[in-house]
């Protein structure tokens, strides 16, 4: 899939804007290692140019259609306030008093720490990992960094650093079993974040793929069906390969960088666990 002129223009604009704001950056197109884009719906307005359409979400309640409220627009960063507004509108439509909303003050997963500096210092001192690895776990998982280490309690090999990253092997089964990852793209881009590095996590691809297959095999159970799935995943590719489905499961993918690149190029954003 080639890059459209609009995409190329957007990249040039971002590079030019960065150089204008930070003159010492001196970036060029060659410095852009990877790009992705998601589809964002915008509320339709007749005869209004696309660039001038509101980026805010809109609630639409058609008085001629019962029991349906449509949410148009919105994005991940505003999902909490969007949900609050939707619930308030539903209660108002039903003629009932909405309960107090707690989500604005409720800690996100990994954020429930009474004394974060104390927890972080204790984790660094007691985890036995290099400082940069401990910091990575704290940055990505918060207080759940201790839960990640739990996956290495009976297998110290899970403490091994994944090649070219500050991530450890235990993050892969944690992503599959604890965060419901089902694709390499889930693991790389929406859980461990190692796919956002300069090398896109390619150095660790074989290690991650193998560990993910094992985690899925345990999670989905043994037996003939599980064995066939894992066997298919291990078979070498033959001849030209079609792009995998946008959310093909890990155990349906062959190993190799092509799979991850295809998932990245055909990336369809989904809502990940919020850190």
Residue 52 has pLDDT above 60, yes or no: yes
User: pLDDT-based confidence at 273, cuts 50/70/90?
Assistant: very low
Contact at 8 Å (CB) between 159 and 171? no
What's the CA gap between 192 and 13, in Å, rounded? 29
Q: 249: Cβ–Cβ under 8 A, 6 or more apart, which residues?
A: 182, 183, 216
pLDDT at 2: 61
What's the CA gap between 62 and 255, in Å, rounded? 49
Vertex 112: Cα angle to 174 and 98 (nearest 5): 110
pLDDT at 213: 85
pLDDT digits (tens, 9 = 90+) for 231-268: 333 333 333 333 333 343 444 333 333 333 223 332 32
User: pLDDT-based confidence at 215, cuts 50/70/90?
Assistant: confident
pLDDT at 201: 84
**Which strand (E) or helix (H) includes residue 125?**
helix 116-126
pLDDT digits (tens, 9 = 90+) for 155-200: 889 999 999 899 999 999 999 999 999 888 889 888 998 888 877 8
Tell me which of 220 and 37 has the higher pLDDT: 37
- Mean per-residue pLDDT for 193-221? 79
β-strand pairing of 70-72 with 58-60 = antiparallel
User: pLDDT-based confidence at 54, cuts 50/70/90?
Assistant: confident
First to last CA, the chain: 32
Burial status of residue 259 (CB atoms within 10 A of its CB: 0-12, 13-18, 19 or more): buried
Contact at 8 Å (CB) between 195 and 188? yes
CA distances from 82 to 70, 86, 94, 113 (A): 12, 6, 19, 26
Q: Which of 270, 241, 274, 76 is nearest to 182 (CA)?
A: 270
User: pLDDT-based confidence at 76, cuts 50/70/90?
Assistant: confident
Phi then psi dihedrals of residue 168, to 5 deg: -115, 160
pLDDT at 53: 86
Residue 228 has pLDDT above 50, yes or no: no
Residue 12 has pLDDT above 70, yes or no: yes
Beta carbons within 10 angstroms of residue 65's beta carbon: 10
pTM of the complete model: 0.64
The maximal CA–CA distance of the chain, rounded, in angstroms, is 63
């Amino acid at each position: 899939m080639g890059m459209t002129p609009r995409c190329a223009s957007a990249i040039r604009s971002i590079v030019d804007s960065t150089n204008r704001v930070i003159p010492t950056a001196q970036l060029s197109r060659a410095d852009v290692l990877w790009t992705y884009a998601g589809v964002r719906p915008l509320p339709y307005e007749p005869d209004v140019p696309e660039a001038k359409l509101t980026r805010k979400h809109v609630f639409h309640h058609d008085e001629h259609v019962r029991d349906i409220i449509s949410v148009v627009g919105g994005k991940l960063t505003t999902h909490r306030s969007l949900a609050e507004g939707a619930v308030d509108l539903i209660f108002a439509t039903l003629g009932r008093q909405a309960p107090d909303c707690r989500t604005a003050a409720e800690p996100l997963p990994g954020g429930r720490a009474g004394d974060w500096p104390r927890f972080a210092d204790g984790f660094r001192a007691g985890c036995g990992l290099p400082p940069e690895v401990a910091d990575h776990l704290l940055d990505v998982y918060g207080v759940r960094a201790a839960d990640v280490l739990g996956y290495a309690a009976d297998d110290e090999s899970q403490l091994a650093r994944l090649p070219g990253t500050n991530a450890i092997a235990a993050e892969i089964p944690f992503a599959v079993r604890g965060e419901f990852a089902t694709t390499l793209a889930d693991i790389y881009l929406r859980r461990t974040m190692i796919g956002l590095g300069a090398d896109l996590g390619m150095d660790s691809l074989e290690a991650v793929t193998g560990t993910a297959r094992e985690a899925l095999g345990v999670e989905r159970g043994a037996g003939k069906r599980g064995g066939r799935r894992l066997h298919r995943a291990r078979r070498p590719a033959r001849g030209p390969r079609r792009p995998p489905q946008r959310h093909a499961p890990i155990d349906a993918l062959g190993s190799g960088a092509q799979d991850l690149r295809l998932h990245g190029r055909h990336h369809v954003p989904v809502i990940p666990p919020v850190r």
